[in-house]
Structure 1
């Protein structure tokens, strides 16, 4: 079982070991980001009657613990894990059992959150953090974002009477919808997974409006930067 001393090391344990990046993301950073994003999602999506104080604590507790087994087992790349699960079939449950062996409290947290809207929100927050990180720090990926912003600004500045604006927009959408780098490809997969998860959640938990999940992700990726306004 992990000790408090082990958990403190999460500030030094690196994630994304199979991806070329500009700076490492540490496990503690990931847990904090997922927690803050999950809280924002829950407040916009869940009703006050459902999102009680007890459920708020459960969501935060889960988000701060969900990847702690990585302290000993490391961050297994998602692609490798999926392939191993396909190869092992039912035996792939060994991965989860290893997590519980390393960090037993996670078993109870998983049981409490399983098949609930909180589980969906935690996964959306997990993917949102990954999208932000890979867009900002993935090798060549931030340059891709800036390039797209420049092209979009150029197209918007063109006179409408030229009759080429919509055609250019369509070409650019098609161009940027294909992976330009490895990290850009990861971002595209994560964006697709996020969108599909929101759609599935709306069907599974129709008592809640899940559309704000799109707005939260948009705000994270393209929202106003208070630091720039503050300094300039």
Structure 2
């Protein structure tokens, strides 16, 4: 079982070890970001009647613990894990049991979260943090985003006839929908997974406002920057 001393090391344990990035993301940073995003998602998606104080505590507790086994087992790339799970079949449960062996409290948290909208919220928050990180720090990703914004700004000044006859906007959009690099392909897959999760959550728990989850991600990626606004 992890000690408090072990848990404090989460401020030094690096994630994303198989991806080119501008700076490392540490496990403690990931847990904090997932927690904050999950709280924002829950407040906007879930009803006040459902999102009680007890469930608020459960969500925060889960988000702060969900990846602690990485302190011992490391951050296994998702692609590798999926391939190993496919190879192992029914025995793939060994991964979860390994996590519980390292951090037993996670077993209780998983049981409480199982088949609840809180689990959907936590996974959306997990992916949202990944999308933000990989867009900002993935090798070449932020440059690609700025380039797309610049190109779109230039295209907006073209005459309507040129845009329509030559299909300029469609060609620009089509170009940027293709993976430009490995990190960009990861970002695109994460965004698709996030969108699919919203659809599935809406079907499973239709009483909640899952459309807000899309707005939260949009704000994270394209929202107003208070620091720039403050300084200018």
Distance 2:204 2:78 in 1: 25
Corresponding residue number in structure 2 for 1:19: 19
Partner Cα separation in structure 2 for residue 58 and residue 168 of structure 1: 50
| Aligned residue number for residue 114 of structure 2 | 114
- Is the CA contact (8 Å cut-off) linking 2:132 and 2:221 kept in structure 1? yes
Structure-2 change in CA distance of 1:163 and 1:190 (3 Å): closer
In the alignment, does 2:63 pair up with 1:63?
Answer: yes
Q: Is residue 142 from structure 1 mapped to residue 142 from structure 2 by the alignment?
A: yes
Aligned pair in 2 of structure 1 residues 54, 163: CA closer, same or farther (>3 Å)? same
RMSD of aligned alpha carbons: 1.1
Cα deviation, residue 171, structure 1: 1.0
Q: 1:157 deviation in Å?
A: 2.3
**Shift in CA distance, 165/60, structure 1 to aligned 2, threshold 3 Å:** farther
TM-score by length of 2: 0.98
Q: Which residue of 2 aligns with 1:189?
A: 189
Shift of the alpha carbon at 1:178?
1.0
1:158–1:165 CA contact under 8 A, matched in 2: no
Q: How many angstroms apart in 2 are the aligned matches of 1:61 and 1:153?
A: 43
Residue 215 of structure 1 corresponds to which residue in structure 2?
215
Structure 1 CA distance for aligned equivalents of residues 160 and 107 of structure 2: 59
- 1:158-198 deviation digits (Å, cap 9, x = unpaired): 23344448822211121111110000000000000000000
Structure 2: 5+ residue runs without aligned partners? none
Give the corresponding residue for 1:5: 5
Q: Distance in 2 between matches of 1:169 and 1:13?
A: 43
Unaligned runs of 5+ in 1: none
1:150: how far off?
A: 0.4
1:97-108 matches, cutoff 5 A: 97-108=97-108
What secondary structure is seen at the aligned counterpart in 2 of 1:157? coil
Q: 1:166 to 1:60 in 2, by over 3 A?
A: farther
Instruction: Give me the whole-angstrom Cα distance separating, in 2, the residues matched to 1:154 and 1:16.
Output: 35
Cα distance in structure 1, aligned partners of 2:163 and 2:97: 60
